[in-house]
Amino acid sequence: MTELSRRLVETTDGLRLAVYEQGPADAETVVLVHGYPDNHSVWDGAAAALAARFHVVAYDVRGTGESEAPDSTAGYRLAQLSDDFRSVIDAVSPDAPVHVAAHDWGSIQTWESVTSPSLSSRISSYTSISGPDLGMATTWLRERGHARSSLRQLAHSWYVFAFQLPLLPEAMVRSGVLSRFVGGRPRPERDQVNGVELYRANFLGKLVRPEPRSTDVPVQVLAPRDDAYVTVPLQTEAPKAYASSLVTKAIDGGHWVVEKSPDLVADEIAAFIEGAGAR
């Protein structure tokens, strides 16, 4: 397989996810997971670069792009998102573990799989960009010794609390306020509205009971220096106590570095996969 192809994968709760593949079918598989308010296309540039060497898979997370959406907030909980990831990799790489790279909410949800005792053996390496594990992040924010960094991160995260409110986020989307806040290319209104449920389904529970889990999967954290939403200290320091094989690196760029600098991101992912960090 060298050209882009599309298939539908059914989830454990009966939804269909749109999954896109390119690159040689017999090469190692790299799965790319997008965040909010994007769909799989945010990875297009990096996916094309990686497809010269890898079997590259990207998919529209539930509620976005060409994938179906659940009919309740509960359908966006982390455990279900992890089940979706399992369904995808079972379909595209049933007999071999995969490498994963994820951005923003894609990264947050992928930590759930990377730290899952029943799923981590299916993952050979993980590159996280601009999306910390919620349990690790909450624990780090509560620790003493870096109060200034914690307060700075909370200031960056004001929208997380706004998204818990009824009606307001949807009004922000439909008025165009959220698009102006996010910046960059236009995003479909459907993706923006549905994605708010990710915040409602998961954040408050993790704030009350963070319960971070550990992992032995080789992890690379790429932290954009000019990220407007996730600070470098949170990205690089929060996982230290939980990832036994961790590499962290600050890179040039803002929050949407995966789209703005796809070759840089692809090179960093490929180097980590091919280096000693990946098993």
pLDDT for residue 184 is more than 80: no
Residue 69 is predicted with a pLDDT of: 98
- Residue among 164, 165, 89, 97 at smallest CA distance from 125: 97
CATH number at residue 261: 3.40.50.1820
Owning domain of residue 218: 5-274
CA nearest neighbour of 21 among 37, 34, 48, 38? 48
- Looking at residue 175, what is its pLDDT? 92
Q: Give the C-alpha separation, 193 to 119, whole Å.
A: 30
Give pLDDT, residue 279.
46
Residue 243 has pLDDT above 60, yes or no: yes
The reply to whether 34 falls in a domain is yes
The answer to whether residue 264 scores a pLDDT higher than 90 is yes
9-66: per-residue pLDDT in tens? 999 999 999 999 999 999 999 999 999 999 999 999 999 999 999 999 999 999 999 9
For residue 214, tell me if it sits in a domain: yes
Distance CA 36, CA 102 (A): 11
Nearest to 262 by CA among 9, 44, 64: 44
pLDDT band at 183 (very low <50, low <70, confident <90, very high): confident
Residue 96 lies in a domain: yes
pLDDT at 80: 98
For residue 117, the one-letter residue type is P
Instruction: Name the band, by pLDDT with cuts 50, 70 and 90, for residue 2.
Output: low
Q: Is residue 200 part of a domain?
A: yes
- Tell me whether residue 57 is in a domain: yes
Average pLDDT over residues 128-151: 88
Question: Per the confidence metrics, is the pTM higher than 0.85?
Answer: yes
Give me the number of domains the chain comprises: 1
**Residue 279 within any structural domain of the chain:** no
